Amino acid sequence: MSKDQDTSKLWGGRFTEATDRFVQRFTASVDFDQRMAQEDIAGSLAHAEMLAAVGVLSADELAQIQGGLEQVREEIQGGSFAWSVELEDVHMNIEARLTQLIGATGKKLHTGRSRNDQVATDIRLHLRRAIDDIAVELGRLQLGTIELAARHADTVMPGFTHLQTAQPVAFGHHLLAWNEMLERDHGRLADCRKRLNQSPLGAAALAGTTYPIKREMTAAALGFDKPTENSLDSVSDRDFAIEFCAFAALLLTHLSRMSEELVLWTSAQFDFVELPDRFCTGSSIMPQKKNPDVPELVRGKTGRVNGHLISLLTLMKSQPLAYNKDNQEDKEPLFDTIDTVRDCLRAFADMVPNIRPRQDNMREAARRGFSTATDLADYLVRRGLPFRDAHEVVGKAVAHGVAQGLDLAEMDLATLQGFYPQIEADVFEVLTLEGSLAARDHLGGTAPAQVRAAAERARDLVQSRG
């Protein structure tokens, strides 16, 4: 081969011409998979220690490899490492540099493994670390939401169905509904971590290796629960990446719903809450504007994450066993999903505890719209009227209120008795907003005492996870 033909490929022995320069760039992944460098080095160190334990490497060779890999790690962390597209990916870049540093011994590191099980190991390690970071941010958001809810167990706001005023609820109760969504997200994230935490290292290309390896040893060294069971599946499985993206799509869907409410609530038409200025931006032309850009952007990023889930599902849907080059396309959507989720959670965890509710506006909105109509119907039922008849009576009272511009609580007793004579003065106890909230004093209800108890349970659960 001429120098131009020799592209220094670690697999180049079989080839008689150099890889086309465009194809090199087209097939290379080093620009994005170099973010797994620390995981790749950790996997190589575990693999080398195992090879020494089974007699494939001598103690001196192991020491050379360990020292060389530590130097490579320092170069990468220090920013002096020279990444090469010609070497395709993070694995070959690190191995080539190791061989430059320690000579022929570096070429022994790849004994008993393939890039197929190497990348499968790296991506699991990288995602596991990302999941642990994301779990911290998710917990921080949950605690911030719960603490805000506890402070506003008595703050009245309208509850909505169809975006129409339905019944009064506590603002804290509404916030704890957000937390319930986030708690399910935590469960899905924990399940994903549990299923991915198996080591594919030692599966080699697809069929295992003829060397007397100890897969349990490398699995334990890397913090996996156990090795994977089947070598074919080990190198081709990307379920864990899809499962993470499914978690992410649901989480972002929940954050998007929360964002939509915040966008509505901060509008002049609602004016229920105020966001701190540091989470908003202004207009280049309209001086009065304060735009809720963080919730709006999170709402927009939901479509991006949903798209990544579909990309991975489509990527895997027609692949035969075992590894195929298609799988190089798993990393960019996965990595972007990791970054997007982490950033969105950080923004929300910082913002939500600092939401300032405008309590008077919330209360006034709850007072309008006949939000205690159901309470009046329940009152009539307790007076012996069948619910469907009570429903009709209250409907007529509401129609009268609409015509006269009066809420139910603003009508005098004589007017209410005109709709049903058995109504007595104690009716006004159930027509107040506080009375409506307090009446729903059961598990899952919006009574302030229940909201405070629910917040305490939720806080204890999140804090128990450390």
Catalytic residue IDs: 162, 283
User: Is there a single domain that holds both residue 297 and residue 439?
Assistant: no
CA distance 439 to 243: 42
pLDDT digits (tens, 9 = 90+) for 78-124: 999 999 999 999 999 999 999 999 999 999 999 999 999 999 999 99
* Ramachandran region, residue 89 (left: φ > 0; alpha: ψ -120 to 50; beta: rest): beta
CA distance 149 to 154: 9
Which residue pairs, CB below 8 angstroms and at least 24 apart, start in 331-335? Answer: 331/29, 331/32, 331/33, 331/123, 332/32, 333/245, 333/307, 333/308, 334/123, 334/127, 334/241, 334/244, 334/245, 334/308, 335/32, 335/35
Which amino acid is residue 197, in one-letter code?
A: N
* Domain span holding position 400: 369-464
- Within-domain flag for 17: no
Whether 234 and 137 have beta carbons less than 8 Å apart is answered as: no
Considering the chain, what is the average pLDDT of its residues? 94
* Average pLDDT value for residue range 410-432: 92
Look at the chain and report how many structural domains it folds into: 3
User: Is there a single domain that holds both residue 343 and residue 452?
Assistant: no
* Average pLDDT value for residue range 31-60: 97
- Within-domain flag for 2: no
User: Is there a single domain that holds both residue 239 and residue 120?
Assistant: yes
pLDDT digits (tens, 9 = 90+) for 284-314: 888 788 899 999 999 999 999 999 999 999 9
* Average pLDDT value for residue range 330-359: 97
Token reading at 125? 């390690």
Name the residue among 439, 215, 201, 241 with its Cα closest to residue 334: 241
CA distance 192 to 248: 11
Percent of the chain with pLDDT over 70: 97
Query: What pLDDT is recorded for position 73?
Result: 98
Token reading at 178? 């957000």
From 363, 378, 393, the end of a domain falls on 363
Q: Please work out, in degrees rounded to the nearest 5, the angle formed at the alpha carbon of residue 342 by the alpha carbons of 350 and 338.
A: 170
Query: What pLDDT is recorded for position 7?
Result: 43
User: Is there a single domain that holds both residue 167 and residue 58?
Assistant: no
The distance of Cα 452 from the centroid of its chain, to the nearest Å, equals 27
pLDDT digits (tens, 9 = 90+) for 175-216: 999 999 999 999 999 999 999 999 999 999 999 999 999 999
CA distance 255 to 340: 12
User: Is there a single domain that holds both residue 293 and residue 193?
Assistant: yes
User: Is there a single domain that holds both residue 354 and residue 389?
Assistant: no
CA distance 81 to 78: 8
Q: How confident is the model at residue 37 (pLDDT cuts 50, 70, 90)?
A: very high
- Within-domain flag for 1: no
Full-prediction pTM beyond 0.75? yes
User: Is there a single domain that holds both residue 426 and residue 308?
Assistant: no
- Within-domain flag for 14: no
Helical packing angle, 115-151 and 239-266, nearest 10°: 30
SS3 of residue 311 by DSSP = helix
SS3 of residue 395 by DSSP = helix
Query: What pLDDT is recorded for position 3?
Result: 39
CATH code for the domain in which residue 38 is found: 1.10.275.10
pLDDT digits (tens, 9 = 90+) for 247-288: 999 999 999 999 999 999 999 999 999 999 999 888 788 878
Query: What pLDDT is recorded for position 13?
Result: 67
Position 6 pLDDT exceeds 50: no
User: Is there a single domain that holds both residue 312 and residue 170?
Assistant: yes
User: Is there a single domain that holds both residue 157 and residue 50?
Assistant: no
pLDDT digits (tens, 9 = 90+) for 362-398: 999 998 888 999 999 999 999 999 999 999 999 999 9
Could you please report the per-residue DSSP string of 192-205?
A: HHHHH-EE-TT-TT
CATH code for the domain in which residue 259 is found: 1.20.200.10
Query: What pLDDT is recorded for position 286?
Result: 85
Token reading at 198? 């198996």
Q: Please work out, in degrees rounded to the nearest 5, the angle formed at the alpha carbon of residue 370 by the alpha carbons of 369 and 371.
A: 90
User: Is there a single domain that holds both residue 383 and residue 354?
Assistant: no
User: Is there a single domain that holds both residue 214 and residue 284?
Assistant: yes
- Within-domain flag for 8: no
User: Is there a single domain that holds both residue 410 and residue 337?
Assistant: no
Exposed, middle or buried, 99 (CB in 10 Å: 0-12/13-18/19+)?
middle
Dihedral angle of Cα 297, 302, 303, 309, to the nearest 10 degrees: 150
- Within-domain flag for 277: yes
